[in-house]
Structure 1
Amino acid sequence: MPPTRLPELIYVVEDEMAIARIIGDTLEKFGYRHEVFRTAEALFHGLRHRAPDLVILDLGLPDMDGMTVLQQMRGKHSCGLLIVTGRSDTHDRVMGLELGADDYVVKPFEPRELIARVRSILRRYPGQVVLPADPAQRVAEFAGWRFAPGSNTLTSPSGQQDTLSTAEAQLLSVLLAHPNHILTREQLLGGRDVSALDRSIDLRVSRLRRRLEEDPQHAKLIKTVYGAGYLLAATVSWS
């Protein structure tokens, strides 16, 4: 028999215990494991011991601003990340997405909405990336750039190395797998249905362009095909 797969582990970072209980009860009801952390310090301690599949992060923590927590997480950890916030300012939500969050939900929220967003994010994080058995398939070269999906390392034509966030690396991997093909926003998000108001993929493309393009406003490598999607205009080889 195949090995039994444990339910996804979700870290809930929320200092208001009443809200933490609502989130925890909702996750348990739908079959997810979870742990609750009341501070950023407790979260980082937990991350050093065990990696979750998803972190649900409240921006209003008592010991550290949520945006700072988000930045530090995205530099070191590759799990999904859902912002839960009472901040109604659109700027905060957009900044969170720009810094690497996968989605957000605003308090007060319906439990069904929370679960829908949790499921959507988890579909984009199928677990650790398994490198191809063939070593010739481990590094992609395109337009002078090199990308190693096993480590999310991007090397510029001048030799400068940078580590992409998981969201950026997944997007680039899909583009590299289908060069010179128009990919819809749904395809770039792993088949997830997106509404006309869902701009998360556009924000990810924008972040990638800032890394890859000399002039992100007039992109030549990741092109917008209006009304259709995006296209990587490059020849890709694997070495």
Structure 2
Amino acid sequence: MTTAHVAILDDEPEIRKILSQALQEAGFQTSSYARATEFEAALRRFTPDVCLVDLGLPDRDGLALVHRLALESGATIIIISGRAQVQDRVTGLELGADDYITKPFDPAEVVARIRARLRKPVAQGSASPQIARFNEWVARFDRYVLIDDQGQETPFSHAEGEVLRLFLESPKRLISRTQMLDALGGSAGESFDRAMDVRISRLRTKLGEDPRNPRLIKTIYGAGYIFLGDVGWT
């Protein structure tokens, strides 16, 4: 199995050192960057499996960078930030981050969060089907895009893709929050629930759903969700 590569973007040298050491001891490959410009230049040469991104960058707005990564990259995106307000967490998740860790942190927790995020990736090589067709839509997990019946493409993030794939692999079956937690990894609680709410809301928007009466992703209050489309994989 190929060792996962974690890219670390933080302007604090000590943070980069602590994270690199903990991740390398856990068996990950790492690369570290102090500035967004260096980080973005590196991403033109390779795509890491995970990006750890600090929001307080000296040369770029961290949230804007997270949003662009979510749209253009298939990497798992984890924000590591000193901003501990609930609204900062919500904004980060809404912009496409997979997880949000506040400083100060325990390096072991960061390693555990990364392992949880990588436990069930959206696609795992050529053995996994990459294209799903449902109703008037095509979902391409090799390119992270939704394509409508007019050929218009709408990108989705890695985090959104995890949830979408879970629905498409279990159509017309109830998926509970507990099942989502088991399948996607993470820690039970308000943070996980909020992350799922955000991702499902974004998927509904991209699928043109009426939020008051969605026809594809139905909420069964107190139980979970059901995806009502007819799905075929290639």
TM above 0.5, one fold?
yes
**Residue 74 of structure 1, CA deviation:** 1.6
- Partners of 1:11 and 1:35 within 8 A in 2: yes
Matching of residue 195 in structure 1 with residue 191 in structure 2: no
2:53 aligns with one of 36, 40, 57: 57
Report the residue type matching 2:69 in the other structure: M
Structure 1 counterpart SS, 2:212: helix
CA distance in 2, matches of 1:222, 1:126: 19
Call closer, same or farther: CA 1:192–1:71 in 2, change over 3 Å.
closer
Deviation at 1:126, TM superposition (A): 6.6
Match status 1:125 vs 2:121: yes
Q: How far apart are the structure 2 equivalents of 1:67 and 1:150?
A: 25
Please give the residue correspondences for 1:41-190 in structure 2 after superposition, counting only pairs within 5 Å. 41-125=37-121, 128-130=124-126, 139-188=131-180, 190=183
Q: Is the aligned partner of 1:217 residue 2:209? A: no
In structure 2, how many angstroms separate the alpha carbons of the residues matched to 1:187 and 1:118? Answer: 19
C-alpha contact (below 8 Å) 1:185/1:194 kept by paired residues: no
Structure 1 stretches of 5 or more lacking a match?
none
Q: Give structure 1 regions of 4+ aligned residues with deviation exceeding 6 angstroms.
A: none
Query: In the superposition, relative to structure 1, how do residues 153 and 92 fare at CA in structure 2: closer, same or farther (>3 Å)?
Result: same
Change in 2 beyond 3 A, CA 1:18/1:184: same
Q: What TM-score, normalized by structure 1, do the two folds share?
A: 0.87
Q: Does the C-alpha gap of structure 1 residues 138 and 123 become closer, same or farther in structure 2, counting only changes over 3 Å?
A: closer
CA displacement at 1:157 relative to structure 2: 4.0
The alpha carbon displacement at 1:85 in A equals 0.3
Q: Which residue of 2 aligns with 1:32?
A: 28
Distance, in Å, in 2 between the alignment partners of 1:11 and 1:56 is 6
SS of equivalent residue, structure 2 residue 44: helix
TM norm structure 2: 0.89
Aligned partners of 1:172, 1:129: CA distance in 2, in Å? 18
Q: Could you say if the C-alpha distance between residues 118 and 191 of structure 1 is closer, same or farther in structure 2, counting changes exceeding 3 Å?
A: closer
- Identity across aligned pairs (percent)? 35
In structure 2, C-alpha distance between the alignment counterparts of 1:126 and 1:230, rounded to whole Å: 19
In the alignment, the residues of structure 2 paired with residue 138 and residue 38 of structure 1 have an alpha-carbon distance, to the nearest angstrom, of 35
Structure 1 position 62, deviation (Å): 0.4
Please give the per-residue CA displacement for 1:49-91, whole angstroms capped at 9, x wherever unaligned. Answer: 1211111100001000101111221222111111000012211
Structure 1 pair 73–191 and aligned structure 2 pair: CA distance change class (3 A)? closer
Query: Secondary structure of the residue that 2:20 maps to in structure 1?
Result: helix
Contact 1:186 1:194 in 2 (8 A): no
| Letter matched to residue 207 of structure 1 | R
Amino acid at match of 2:227: L
8 A Cα contact 2:9 2:36, kept in partner: yes
